[in-house]
Structure 1
Amino acid sequence: MRGEAVEVGGERSWPTGWQRLKLADVGRWLSGGTPSTSNEAYWGGDIPWISGASMKDFHIKESDRRLTPLGAKNGSRLVGKGTTLFVVRGMSLKSEFRIGVTQREVAFGQDCKAVIPKDGIDPHFLAYAIRVRTPEILRMVEETSHGTGRLDTSRLQELEIGVPAMAEQRRIVAAHAAFERRIAALQGVLGKLTATESALARAALAQEDIDRWEQVLLQAVASVAAGVTLGSEPVGDGTVELPYLRVANVLDGRIDTTDVKKVRILRSRYERFALCKGDLLLTEGGDLDKLGRGAVWDGRLDSCLHQNHVFRVRCGERILPDFLALCTASAEGRAYFQRVGKQTTNLASINSTQVKQMPVPLPGVEEQKRIIAPIQAIRSRRTALERQIAKLRTVQQGVVEDLLRGAVRLPAA
Structure 2
Amino acid sequence: MGVEAVKPGRHSWPEEWQRVSLADAGRWMSGGTPSTSNEAYWDGEIPWISGASMKHLRITDSERRVTRLGAENGSRLVDKGAVLFIVRGMSLKSEFRIGVTQREVAFGQDCKALVPDDGIDPYYLAYAMRVLTPTILSMVEETSHGTGRLDTNRLNALEIGVPPLPEQRDIVAAHEAFERRIGALERELGKLRTVENAIVAGVMAESGGRIELGRWLSSIEAGKSPMAEDTPAGDGEWGVLKVSAVQPGWFKAIENKVVREAEFINARYRVCVGDLLMTRANTEELVGLACVVRERAERLMLSDKTLRLVPDTGVAEAEFIELALLSPSVRSQVRSRATGTSASMKNIGQSAVRQLMVPDVPKAIQRKVVAAVSASRKRSQGIQRQIAKLKQVQQGVVEDLLSGRSRVNRT
Whether TM exceeds 0.5 here: the answer is yes
**2:62 alignment partner, SS class:** coil
Q: Which residue of 1 aligns with 2:83?
A: 84
Which residue does 2:137 correspond to in 1?
138
Q: 1:299 aligns with which of 282, 295, 302?
A: 295
After TM superposition, give the deviation of residue 5 of structure 1 in Å: 3.5
Paired position in structure 2 for 1:389: 387
Corresponding position of 1:38: 37
Number of the residue aligned with 2:398: 400
* 2:96 corresponding residue in structure 1: 97
1:4–1:15 Cα contact (<8 Å) kept: no
How far residue 218 of structure 1 moved from its aligned partner, in angstroms, is 4.4
User: Per the alignment, do residues 205 and 72 of structure 1 end up closer, same or farther by CA in structure 2, a change over 3 Å counting?
Assistant: closer
Amino acid corresponding to residue 253 of structure 1 in structure 2: G
Which amino acid counterpart does residue 194 of structure 2 have in structure 1? Answer: A
What residue number does 2:320 align with? 323
What SS does the corresponding residue of 1:299 show, helix, strand or coil?
coil
| Separation of aligned partners in 2, 1:121 and 1:268 | 56
| 3-state SS of paired residue (1:410) | strand
CA distance in 2, matches of 1:202, 1:98: 35
- The match for 2:5 among 2, 5, 9 is 2
One-letter code of the match for 2:173? A
Q: Is the 8 A contact 2:48 2:106 kept in 1?
A: yes
Residue in 1 that maps onto 2:232: none
CA shift for structure 1 position 101: 0.8
Question: How far off its partner does 1:133 sit?
Answer: 0.6
Q: In 2, Cα distance between the equivalents of 1:208 and 1:126? A: 54
Q: Distance in 2 between matches of 1:216 and 1:69?
A: 52
Give how far 1:352 is off: 3.1
Task: Compare 97-106 and 329-338 and name the one that shifted more.
Answer: 329-338
Q: Please list the CA deviations of residues 293-328 of structure 1 after superposition, one character each: whole Å capped at 9, or x if unmatched.
A: 311112254222222121112346534321332344
Q: Is the 8 A contact 1:323 1:368 kept in 2?
A: yes
* Alpha-carbon shift at residue 116 of structure 1 (Å): 1.2
Instruction: Give runs of aligned pairs for residues 240-319 of structure 1, distance below 5 A.
Output: 242-257=238-253, 259-264=255-260, 266=262, 269-285=265-281, 292-299=288-295, 301-315=297-311, 317-318=313-314, 319=316
Count residues in correspondence.
398
Contact between 1:225 and 1:311, CA under 8 Å: does it hold in 2? yes
Which residue is 1:122 aligned to?
121
| 2-structure distance, mates of 1:273, 1:2 | 52
The code of the aligned residue for 1:323 comes to F
1:96-245 superposed matches below 5 A: 96-205=95-204, 207=206, 218=214, 222-231=218-227, 242-245=238-241
> Hey, what's the Cα distance between the residues in 1 that align with 2:228 and 2:181?
48
SS of match in other structure, 2:51:
coil
Question: Contact (CA 8 Å) 2:58, 2:99: kept in 1 or not?
Answer: yes
**RMSD value, Cα:** 3.0
Do the aligned partners of residues 291 and 402 (structure 1) sit closer, same or farther apart at CA in structure 2, a change above 3 Å counting? closer
Secondary structure of the 1:393 match is helix
Residue identity over aligned pairs, in percent, reads: 50
- Structure 2: distance between partners of 1:331 and 1:82: 38
- Choose 202-211 or 271-280, whichever is displaced more: 202-211
Answer yes or no: is the 8 Å Cα contact 1:219–1:357 preserved in 2.
no
Residue 375 of structure 1 aligns to a residue whose secondary structure is helix
**Does 51-60 or 216-225 show the bigger shift?**
216-225
Q: Which residue of 2 aligns with 1:379?
A: 377
**TM-score in terms of structure 2 length:** 0.86
For 1:141 and 1:404, how far apart are their aligned partners in 2? 24
Distance 1:94 1:336, change over 3 A: closer
| Unmatched tracts of structure 1, length 5 or more | 234-239
The verdict on how the C-alpha distance between 1:126 and 1:300 changes in structure 2, with shifts beyond 3 A counting, is farther
Instruction: Rate the CA distance shift 1:257–1:184 in 2: closer, same or farther, 3 A.
Output: farther
In structure 2, what residue type is equivalent to 1:136?
Answer: T
Q: Which amino acid aligns with 1:251?
A: Q
For residues 18-58 of structure 1, the C-alpha deviation after alignment (integer angstroms, 9 at most, x for no partner) is 11111111111112222222222221111111122322211
CA distance in 2, matches of 1:359, 1:90: 37
Structure 1 residues 295, 137: CA separation in 2 closer, same or farther (over 3 Å shift)? Answer: same
**Aligned-pair distance for 1:14?**
0.9
Q: How big is each residue's C-alpha offset from its partner over 1:141-165, in whole Å with a ceiling of 9 and x where there is no partner?
A: 1122222211111111111111111
Counterpart Cα distance in 1 of 2:216 and 2:38: 59
Give the TM-score normalised by the residue count of structure 1: 0.86
Write the distance in 2 (CA, Å) between the matches of 1:216 and 1:110. 47
Partner of residue 27, structure 1: 26
Give me the whole-angstrom Cα distance separating, in 1, the residues matched to 2:22 and 2:329: 56
| Deviation at residue 392 of structure 1 after TM alignment | 1.2
Paired residue type of 1:141: V
Cα deviation code 1:231-274 (max 9, x no counterpart): 489xxxxxx85333333332333334564443445368432111
Q: CA deviation at 1:91?
A: 1.5
What amino acid maps onto 2:406 in structure 1? V
Task: Please report how far the alpha carbon of residue 174 of structure 1 lies from its aligned counterpart in structure 2 after TM superposition.
Answer: 0.3
C-alpha deviation, 1:376, in angstroms: 0.9
- Choose 182-191 or 282-291, whichever is displaced more: 282-291
Change (3 A) 1:3 1:332: closer
Letter in 2 for 1:104: R
CA contact (8 A) 1:278 1:297 kept: yes
Tell me if the contact between 2:273 and 2:297 (Cα under 8 Å) persists in the aligned partners.
no
Which stretch of the first structure deviates more once superposed, 182-191 or 73-82? 73-82
Most deviating of 42-51 and 345-354: 345-354
Change (3 A) 1:262 1:219: farther
Q: Which runs of 4+ in 1 moved over 6 A?
A: 287-290, 357-360
Q: CA deviation at 1:331?
A: 6.8
